[in-house]
Amino acid sequence: DAEWKLYTYFGAKDKPTLLHRAFAEDVTKATGGRLKITVYAASELPYKASDVLRITAGNQVQMGDVALGFVAGDVPELNALSMPFSCTSIDKFYDKAVPAISPVVSQVLLTKFKVDPIMHWAMPPQQLWLAKPVAGIEGLRNLKVRSWNREQAEMMRLVGGSGVTITPAEVIPALQRGVVDGAFTAAVPALDWKFNEVTKYGYMMNLTLAHQVLAVNKAALDALPADVRDILIAKTKEWAPRYRSEMIEADLVARKTLAERGMTLHDATPAEEAKLRELTKPISDEWTAKVGDVGKQMLSASIKACN
Amino acid sequence: MSWTDALLIYGLTLIGCIAGGVSIGASMGFVGMMGVTLASGMMLWPTFGDVVWNTTTNFNLVSIPLFVLMGELILQSGISSRFYSGIAGFFRHIPGGLAQTNIFGCAVFSAIAGSSVATALTVGTVATREMRSHGYADTLTLGTLTAGGCLGILIPPSIPLIVYGSMTQESIIDLFMAGVVPGLVLAGLFSVYVMVRVLLQPSLVPKKPTDKVDYMLAAKNSFPIILLIGAVIGGMYTGVVTPTEASGFGSLLALLLALLYRELTPAGFWRALRNTVLTSAVIMFVTINAQILNFAIVSTGIGHGLAAWLAGLQISPLLFFCVLLFIYLIIGMFIDGLSIMLLTVPLLYPSLATLGFNGVWVGIILVVFIELGALTPPMGLNLFAIQSIVPDRTLGDVAIASLPYCAIIIAFSFLLYAFPQIALWLPAVMK
Amino acid sequence: MTAISSLFDRLERVAIAAAIVFIVLMGLLMNVEVFGRTLFGRSTQISDEFAGYFFTAATLLCLVPTLRHGRFLRVEAVVNRLPVPLQAALKFVSSIIGAVMSAVLTYTTFGLAYTSWSYGTVSLQAFQVPQAIPQAILPIGFLLLTLAFLEQAALAILRRGDVDAHPDTELLQGLD
Ligand code: NA
Ligand code: NA
């Protein structure tokens, strides 16, 4: 009988962790305990978000919740969905983008890391949370915004502001004291981290989805008895729609709750969105120039699928 | 192997290593490696590499060397002796005199620093030498510093509270507010203790000088430090610097002040820098190895076993609180505070919530428990911090000097249990 | 043995100087970030990332000097009450335990840096620093620490009773 560790870099009480736990329990039950998956959340094991792919490859854990945006240092060519506005709809992500790009992702992860992405899922779109309301894109000029990757920092530069790197633990104090004027994150973590206490305004621009895969160490997967492996794979097919609906629901609830707690949430108008797309185009141009054919193919497939 | 057997083996090996003279860091690392290897062979060894890298690149820990540097610069430039001779005038009528300034200084410095080690190290670097030159007994001085350092994680900003908030989704702002009053009350208790102790044992402090104090001169001499601390706190509360950056900013200001007073020699500057790198290496060596031991405890199931046992206890909240205090007292003897937070919160928070304890209050009480751990040997980071700046004293000396404060902290935790409002009042009125 | 010890003596002076350079760079960078952000609204984008690299390097460089000056934290109350030959034996055993521990860290941190190198891992931030470069200091530092522990073990046998091979006179100067 197999005992697996599933590591997620989300916190113990975060929505994705709760989903992973429910999924793990269901698999354990469905296999009659022959595959027991234990979920470890951030800080329960000493790994960072950017370590997840490598520790799964090294069989330090058998299963990892891999954010392709956070492992872009290992597989830059899979980071297509971190390009601004490449795919902003969760529905289109599941219905069209995943079928189109999952073969590429599997191929890269299997050959380079011997890791099998058995399920794709998405965190709802990244939004911009600001201490003060702004009047459109022009209002972002001269603002300092905490950004956790190059693309977000570059976007802030292109709109005339500045991206600032701040360690996760200091984001809340930094927002409270005005070290930065705002920060990027999705609505669900914004609610989890109580952004309503330190920011007033949500600029809902749907910058990017966070493309996640549940990845399994190939050797560990192959070592399972065939029937147990089949149950696991069948369970991922059953659970992908649940991740989808629960994350969409969580995103709606988070937006609603943040608004009830006094925040103003402004949906980017079509004109604003068009302007932002145009402004941020150099980011994906620069990226495609660097990552080669696999990346190019993945980006164009996602854009075609999602727009 | 059951978790109780594992716990027994780890505990005995650790105590054996430490008593046999293996350095505390190496003991913890060795036992951690042994535990992981016994449980799963070499499969998880690569994680040791991740632990080292993720610890030494942790931006919150980066503040440690720079806060030490700030203290060293103040010390080597003579600004600190000015300050102590100045402030001595103001404190001469209070029993305990300069010993009170240590607690006062730690409380003020806590408003800059997010960790108790940074607080104890910075104030301790400056204070130990000045107190000795003024004729105070080490037995009094060392305890005020290790204990005063504890205030660093209670009075905001506080790294353990940030970590707690991020794990439990309690509001970090509420947690910070909730730490203020308990921090001040605890500082007050420490101060009262020093008064009583000195009244009972006057030989601990020098005889009072009989000449009159020139309060103007005293104010002038204490001004540079007050300016420095004021500027750093101001920088933080106006959003110029983050809590971690406050360490770098403070070092720069300290250097400017030192140059301004023209008392920092090149040799003194070099000594400040050298003490800084060596002291931080000592602390980091322990911290890295504590993380390895922590990993062993998680991956061999000791943590989960203990939590399940606790959750199964059918006892009253007060008794549960006592059991909890006892467990943290024991854990605190072997693991550092941040690791305790990382290790125990995911395991214990659910059962505490079930028992109806307020989440913000739990955060504060855990920080108080962690403070206790920082003062208990063999693994007491504050003890290490202070001993690393007075290598001519043994760890035992420092531990004995800190013992009374452990009792005060235990008593204080019961006070917090009886009157949760000490913590919860301020966040409520700030809403 | 004396030759090895004097080599270490020279090495550790260089190591401390290099560590100081790293800490100074770290402080400078942090202040450049603060002033750039406050006065010009611009971030260095690398302050927190490079601070981590510098601190790692400074820490690893100073492990050997701290060990050799007896600054690693130890509990001596028990050991000091034992007869001298037994003290030397314990000193030997404890140095070997230290050597084993740091040898494991040498091996595993080498694995970390090697994995980063073979995967071509870079950081997510603006400069995309290849992680193998800052990580390479880890195995080097722990390898030297392993050797320094072995030196201590050898000295424990050679000098038997004279346990404290390197009294910390120089480092005490700042505290008298
Ligand atoms: Na503090
Ligand atoms: Na302790």
pLDDT in tens, B415-429: 999 999 999 999 888
Ligand in nearest proximity to the CA of B367: 1
Cβ contact B21–C138 (<8 Å) = no
Sheet with A126-130, edge to edge strand ranges: A162-164, A144-146, A182-186, A126-130, A201-204, A264-267
Interchain CB distance below 8 Å, C27 and B66: yes
C125 and A150 within 8 Å at the Cβ level: the answer is: yes
For B256-273, what is the mean pLDDT?
90
* Choice between C173 and A119, residue whose per-residue pLDDT is larger: A119
The amino acid at B203: S
CA distance readout (Å), A245 to A19, A66, A122, A241: 11, 20, 11, 6
Q: Where is A174: in which H helix or E strand? A: helix A171-177
As a whole number of angstroms, the distance between CA A263 and CA A199 comes to 8
Q: What is the pLDDT of residue A159?
A: 95
Tell me which residues of chain A have a pLDDT lower than 70.
none
Predicted pLDDT of residue B237: 81
**Residue B301: left if φ>0, alpha if ψ -120 to 50, beta else—which one?**
left
d(CA B384, CA B337): 13
Distance A150 CA to ligand 2 centre (A): 41
Q: Cα–Cα distance between A83 and A100 in angstroms, integer?
A: 17
Would the CB atoms of B168 and A13 count as touching at under 8 Å? yes
Decide if C73 and B273 are in contact by the 8 Å CB cutoff. Answer: no
Task: Quote the distance between the C-alpha of residue C124 and its chain's center.
Answer: 27
Report percent pLDDT > 70 for chain C.
90
- DSSP E strand stretches across B206-334: none
Is residue C164 in some structural domain?
Answer: no
Q: How far, rounded to the nearest angstrom, does the alpha carbon of residue B191 sit from its chain's CA centroid?
A: 17
Q: pLDDT per residue over B204-238, tens digit each? A: 887 766 567 778 888 888 888 888 888 888 888 88
Contact B116, B152 (CB under 8 A): yes
User: What φ, ψ does residue A204 adopt, rounded to 5°?
Assistant: -85, 85
**C71 interface with B at CB cutoff 8 Å:** yes
What six digits make up the tokens of B325? 């205090």
| C36 domain-assigned | yes
pLDDT for res C176: 24
pLDDT tens-digit map of B176-214: 889 999 999 999 999 999 999 988 988 888 776 656 777
Q: Are the beta carbons of B21 and C72 separated by less than 8 Å?
A: no
- Cβ pair A153:C49 closer than 8 A: no
Nearest to B159 among A11, A42, A169 (CB): A169
- CA dist B89 and A194 (Å) reads 46
Q: Specify the higher pLDDT residue, B1 or C135.
A: C135
Pairs across A and B, CB distance < 8 A? 103
Residues of A in contact with B157 (CB under 8 A): 173
Subunits adjacent to chain A (3 or more Cβ pairs under 8 Å): B, C
Are A301 and A102 contacting, i.e. CB atoms less than 8 angstroms apart? no
In a domain, residue C165? The reply is no
Name chain B contacts of A197, Cβ cutoff 8 Å: 171, 173
Find the B121 Cα to ligand 1 centroid distance in Å. 13
* Per-residue pLDDT tens over the stretch C10-40: 988 999 999 999 999 999 999 999 999 999 8
Q: How many CB atoms lie within 10 A of CB A1?
A: 11
Is B63 within 8 Å of B114 (Cβ atoms)?
Answer: yes
Distance CA B321, CA A138 (A): 55
Say what the pLDDT of residue B152 is: 86
Of the candidates A233, A208, A50, A60, the one whose C-alpha atom is nearest the C-alpha of residue A127 is: A208
B29: Cβ–Cβ under 8 A, 6 or more apart, which residues?
B288, B289, B292, B293, C101, C105
Q: Is A220 left (phi over 0), alpha (psi -120 to 50) or beta?
A: alpha
Q: In chain A, what residues touch C46 (CB-CB under 8 Å)?
A: 165
pLDDT attached to residue C160? 64
Place of tokens 């920011």: A199
Only one residue has tokens 């600054």, namely C71
A41 phi/psi in degrees, rounded to 5: -90, 175
Alpha helix locations (H) across B20-78?
24-40, 46-56, 63-76
pLDDT at B142 over 70: yes
Among C121, C124, C125, C129, pick the best mutation site for testing chain A contact (most A Cβ within 10 A).
C124
Cα–Cα dist C134/C122, whole Å: 11
**What are the backbone dihedrals phi and psi of residue A263, each rounded to the nearest 5 degrees, phi first?**
-90, 150
pLDDT band at B128 (very low <50, low <70, confident <90, very high): confident
Give the torsion sign (CA, C164, C168, C169, C172): negative
Nearest to A165 among C41, C47, C120 (CB): C47
Q: What residues of chain C lie within 8 A of the CB of A70, using their CB? A: 124
Q: Report the candidate in B93, B94, B202, B99 with the shortest Cα–Cα distance to residue B143.
A: B99
List the Cα angle C163/C165/C166 in 5-degree steps.
135
- Is the CB of residue B395 less than 8 Å away from at least one CB of chain C? yes
Q: Picking from A109-123, B250-264, B296-310, C101-115, which range would have the lowest pLDDT averaged per residue?
A: B296-310
Strand pairing report for A162-164 and A210-217: unpaired
The answer to whether the CB atoms of A11 and B169 lie below 8 A apart is: yes
Maximum separation of any 2 CA atoms in chain A, in Å: 59
Q: Which ligand is nearest to the CA of B328?
A: 2
Which residue range(s) make up the domain with C139? Answer: 2-74+82-158
C17 phi and psi angles, rounded to 5 deg: -60, -45
CB contact under 8 A, B276 and C112: no
Window C:33-62, CB contacts with B under 8 Å: 33-34, 38, 47-48, 51-53, 55-56, 58-62
Question: A167 vs B165: CB contact, 8 Å cut-off?
Answer: no
| A&C contacts, CB < 8 Å | 53
A144: nearest CB among C41, C49, C128? C41
The one-character DSSP state at A2 is: E
Q: Which amino acid is at B374?
A: A
- Number of separate domains in chain C: 1
Of A201-215, B128-142, B331-345, C58-72, minimum mean pLDDT range: B331-345
Enumerate the residues of chain B whose CB falls inside 8 A of the CB of residue C102: 26
For B48-60, write each residue's pLDDT tens digit. Answer: 999 999 989 987 7
- B284 CB neighbours in chain C (<8 A) are 59
List the chains bordering chain B where 3 or more Cβ pairs fall under 8 Å: A, C
Query: Quick check: helix, strand or coil at residue B215?
Result: helix
Mutate to test the interface with C, among A82, A150, A157, A283 (most CBs of C within 10 A): A150
pLDDT tier at B79, thresholds 50, 70, 90: confident
Q: Which two tokens stand for residue A210?
A: 């966070």
Query: CA-CA distance, B90 to A104, in Å (whole number)?
Result: 73
Chain A's closest residue to C33, CA to CA, is A164
The chain-wide mean pLDDT, for chain B, equals: 85
Return the pLDDT at B211. 63
User: What value does the mean pLDDT take over residues C148-176?
Assistant: 61
Three-class secondary structure of residue A8 per DSSP: coil
The residue extents of the domains of chain B are 3-430
Please state whether C120 falls in left (phi above 0), alpha (psi between -120 and 50) or beta: left
Distance from CA of B406 to the nearest CA of A (A): 28
Q: Does the pLDDT of residue C113 top 70, yes or no? A: yes
User: Which chain B residues have any C-beta within 8 angstroms of a chain A C-beta?
Assistant: 43-44, 46-47, 50-51, 54-55, 59-60, 157, 159, 162-163, 165-169, 171-173, 176, 236-244, 291, 294-295, 298-299, 342, 345-346, 349
φ, ψ of residue A148 in degrees (nearest 5): -105, 5
Paired tokens of A134: 């702004």
Mutation choice for A interface testing from C34, C50, C115, C119 by most A CBs within 10 A:
C119
Task: Determine, for residues B46 and A13 on separate chains, whether the beta-carbon distance falls below 8 Å.
Answer: no
How close B179 comes to chain C (CA, Å)? 27
Check residue C173 and give its pLDDT: 33
Nearest to B339 by CA among B125, B124, B110, B58: B58
C167 confidence band (pLDDT: 50, 70, 90): very low
Three-class SS of chain C? CHHHHHHHHHHHHHHHHHHHHHHHHHHHHHHHHHHHHHHHCCCCCCHHHHHHHHHHHHHHHHHHHHHHCCCCCCCCCCHHHCCHHHHHHHHHHHHHHHHHHHHHHHHHHHHHHHHHHHHCCECCCCCCCECHHHHCHHHHHHHHHHHHHHHHHHHHHHCCCCCCCCCCHHHHHHHC
